[in-house]
Amino acid sequence: MRTEALAVALFPGHGGVDSVSLCRPSEVVLSKPERASRLKQVRLLAQLSQPALESIGEACLWREFSAGTQILDYQEPSTDVYFLVHGRVRVIIYSHDGTAVVFTDLAGGSVFGEIAAVDRKPRSASVEAVEACTVASLTSEQF
């Protein structure tokens, strides 16, 4: 299957390879104190104690995404919660004709994916990295 055909099959309505990267994220290796320090920058977690942040940091899956990489896909059945510790992402939906409808851009310190973790329904929007970003995620059960 050609790369463009694969992109359209995986990301319908996105207009092909140029609009969304097919790159896989890379795992991030950080020490326990580094993870806690980065999580402290997330507004939702900022008031937690150092031991609590270290515990959450150990439970998280840490990944880096390149600019243009899709992190979540609209209607995806996953329920993980994401802590954006560095970078910027765009919350977006694509119409059937490929037109982008942007809901918002989120910067480091934000949380996304929490709606699906609570209501257990498919993703209500896609999330794409606007710039290189570092993300820590928890399963809905861990959250």
Q: What is the pLDDT of residues 39-50, one digit of tens each?
A: 999 999 999 999
Residue 142: what pLDDT? 78
pLDDT higher than threshold 70 for residue 10: no
Provide the residue type at 93 as one letter. I
Average pLDDT score over residue span 15-25: 49
Q: How high does pLDDT run on average in the chain?
A: 83
pLDDT higher than threshold 70 for residue 132: yes
111: which strand partners?
83
Residue 24: what pLDDT? 65
pLDDT higher than threshold 90 for residue 13: no
Q: Give the C-alpha distances (Å, rounded to integers) separating 45 from 15, 27, 65, 76.
A: 37, 22, 22, 26
Average pLDDT score over residue span 88-106: 92
The model carries a pTM of 0.77
Q: pLDDT confidence of 94, banded at 50, 70, 90? A: confident
Share of residues in the chain with pLDDT > 70 (%): 83
Q: Which residues have a Cβ under 8 Å from the Cβ of 134 and sit 6 or more positions away?
A: 28, 38, 62, 63, 64, 84, 85, 86, 87
Distance, CA of 109 to CA of 68 (rounded, Å): 20
Distance, CA of 7 to CA of 27 (rounded, Å): 23
